[in-house]
A = this chain, B = another copy of it.
Amino acid sequence: MRIAIDAMGGDYAPQEIVKGAIEGAKREGIGIILVGQEDTIQKEMMRYDVSGLPIRVRNASEVILDGEPPIVALRQKPDASISVATQLVKRGEADAVISMGPTGTVMVSAMVTLGTLEGIKRPTAGGELLGFVPDTVIFDLGANVDCNPRELLSFAVIGCVVAKKMLHIANPTVALLSNGAEEGKGNHLVKGAYQLFKKSNLNFIGNVEGNDIPAGKANVVICDGFTGNVLIKFCEGLSRSIIERLKVTLDKRLSKTDIEAICEDLFTLTNIADVRGGGLVYGINGLVWIGHGRSKASQVAKSIRQVKLAVEANLVESLKLELTKIQELGGGV
């Protein structure tokens, strides 16, 4: 297995990216191709003992910076590290690509170079939202703001593959996020999707409400990316407020170390994407991980771990297969 890493993308590139890549290569025992300005990367690598590690460098002379409009930047800089890294996946020289560069640029590069899977117009982002319910994934978390029922169905298919392949749930239950449990509850979008989901081959259990997410009522919770984005950010914000409150309330009743551990525990349980440092983009004809710009070495190494699991799970091939099944059933997405 070989993973291409955009060594130039991210707030702490190339230092932390190189460091994390080496850490990941050691820990996971997989091949890493660091893509970017060769001299700079080699100089960074000289700071570590990489003898025997399956890491090589692939030169890419240009770098796309935060703030550059993705489409223009990708056209003007054909030798940008993110483009070169993604092309390695396209040509089969790498099994996946990881970048901590600007989200929009990584996304456009993936769509242009690798294309989307049959039946998918735009990729989706999602996954676990809360550590309280490790068997629940939620899609879409912000990539698709205005959706139609068929798009929600495609998120559900993707969510099921993720639940099966990554969380090892044999027959994941699927639900629509709504404002009431009964059929007939929901906005126009949810009502339309309900009918499509009912006819599909999904293990559809109907609508769930907001409180059913932390209760783990379904393995795959589906919503439009507007609702999902508001939810994930509200979750972050609310947990932050609660943690701040606890710091005050617990002060002088417990040791500083204990308070920190309790707060850290709650933070981890409510900020999965943040702790993990990013996530896969789904619906692309290839494995692409978009990491946070602020990722440091430890998060780069964690990303490598996640991506390795996705490669081993044969995620993209499974997605292709399941999307075909849905289309055969007449629920084309």
Contact = CB atoms under 8 A, between A and B. Distances in A.
A214 B187 contact: no
Contact of A145 (B142, B177, B187): B187
A214 B186 contact: no
A146 interface: yes
A331 to B, nearest CB: 24
A211 interface: yes
Contact of A224 (B132, B187, B214, B223): B187
Nearest to A265: B249
Interface stretch (A48-56, A83-91, A225-233): A225-233
B132 A245 contact: yes
A235 B210 contact: yes
Residue with the greatest number of chain B CB neighbours at <10 A, chosen from A179, A235, A245: A179
Contact of A210 (B179, B187, B211, B230): B230
Interface string A236-248: 1111111001100
Contacts of A130: 238, 241
B258 A233 contact: no
B266 A242 contact: yes
Contact of A177 (B210, B213, B230, B265): B230
A133 B209 CA distance: 24
Contacts of A215: 237, 241
A270 B238 contact: yes
Nearest to A226: B187
A262 interface: yes
Given A179-B225, A187-B146, A210-B235, A132 B241 contact: yes
